[in-house]
Amino acid sequence: MRQRRAPARGPASTGRVAALSHPSGLYVLFATELGERYSFYALMAILTLYMDERLRFAPAVSAQVYGAFVAAVFFLPLFGGLLADRRLGFYRATAAGAVLIGAGQLVLALDSEPAFFAGLALVACGTGLLKPNVSTILGNLYTDRPVLRDAGFNIFYMGINVGSFLAPIAVSYLRAALGWRAAFLSAAVGVGLALAVFIAFRRHLSPAAVPGSSPSEAPAVPDDVARRRIGALLVVFGVVAAFWVAFYQNGFALTLWARDNTATRLAPETFQSVNPLGIIVFSPLLVAAWAALRRRGAEPSTLGKILFGMALAVATFALMALAGLAGGDSGRVSAAWLVSAYLLIALAEICLSPMGLSLVSRIAPAPRRGTMMGAWFVATSLGGYMAGYLGTYWYRMAHSSFFLLVAAVAALAALALVALTPRLQPIFAAADDGK
């Protein structure tokens, strides 16, 4: 593979070494996302409980606010990516986003209803700036070592989930020992540390943090090719939105199930740590499995991995439907049901989410890469909004029926992806070949 030599990096073999190792910027972004995701999932772990127990919102109102917040968090990255592409650059957009998130968590710590909505708005706006641009910087770091890109996103995703694992445990303790304010303040500290790491080690991210100047940037593609790539990506985004409908029941239906239908003495938000723990454990195993299959020429395509993730999401909520029928519809059942479901959805998430980020970084035309990364999060936004909408039915139907409804949504989307793959795969393969 032909590599562009980076200045002041040592011997002439740098290009070959780069092709065999991950860039140092990966670990900067790993730490940045760890702190930011701690902040976000600290909030997510207690959001429904705070509305229910502290603000005393009606269940339908809590569901709608939950869905609207998740939708905003993942819709605004479209504008965050656009701003980075055209005005701010990826570095400044990411740093500004961290500042807004920290401000939002501090406002939430004021512990009042007006502060609650103002704080959520600030967190959503900050996430809209930070989230797509961290992922875009990471993808740009791999333009001279594309064979490692999927593995790099899997490692990056572990950073996300270390933060996600720690957050519910920490805020559960803080909420019980010191109250809601301490829980929100810990979220502000998490994103503050993330910003400090990002600024202190920014030299490892240049020039990947500048639009259009990442190493070995591919030449511009013709307009018709760019349109085909963007259209194919948008189709995938529409399909995987259904996965997020299922996934974001973790902060609503599954949290209420943990509190009301699980035989346990643990705080309900504690169970949200099982999903990221599963990702931390499964990610290296899955990376090793993909690598072993790659050596044999049998590694599934990115679309194949995404489809496997969709199938696992269906299995997750089919399992929870069985838990409802086994007694959870009217009483409490073993925590093993919920733990198993969280582990299944963790494996599904590894197959789908980092692969989607990797797909965007590979396929999106360079001038619109930040915008398309934002569009990926819009799909998450739609799924989050629908997760909240479906949540309004949680108290209006049997839990087993609710979980079957979620499984059906994911199953229909998986079937759609099976039908569309023969048309999409040639477009993605041509992009990987530089055509």
Residue with tokens 């789908």: 352
Q: What is the 8-class DSSP label of residue 368?
A: G
Question: How confident is the model at residue 212, as a pLDDT?
Answer: 54
Q: What is the pLDDT of residues 223-267, one digit of tens each?
A: 888 889 999 999 999 888 999 999 989 888 999 999 999 999 898
Encoded tokens for 256: 């209420």
Q: What is the pLDDT of residues 50-93, one digit of tens each?
A: 999 999 999 889 999 998 998 999 889 888 888 888 888 888 99
Q: How many CB atoms lie within 10 A of CB 287?
A: 20
C-alpha–C-alpha distance, residues 220 and 230, integer Å? 14
Question: How confident is the model at residue 88, as a pLDDT?
Answer: 87
Encoded tokens for 275: 């999903």
Which CATH number among 3.30.70.100, 1.20.1250.20, 2.102.10.10, 2.30.110.10 corresponds to the domain 22-214+221-432?
1.20.1250.20
Encoded tokens for 194: 């993330």
Question: How confident is the model at residue 6, as a pLDDT?
Answer: 40
Does the pTM surpass 0.85? The reply is no
Spell out the residues 6+ positions from residue 179 whose beta carbon is closer than 8 angstroms to its own.
Answer: none
Q: Which residues of the chain have pLDDT under 50?
A: 1-18, 213-217
SS3 350: helix
Question: How confident is the model at residue 150, as a pLDDT?
Answer: 74
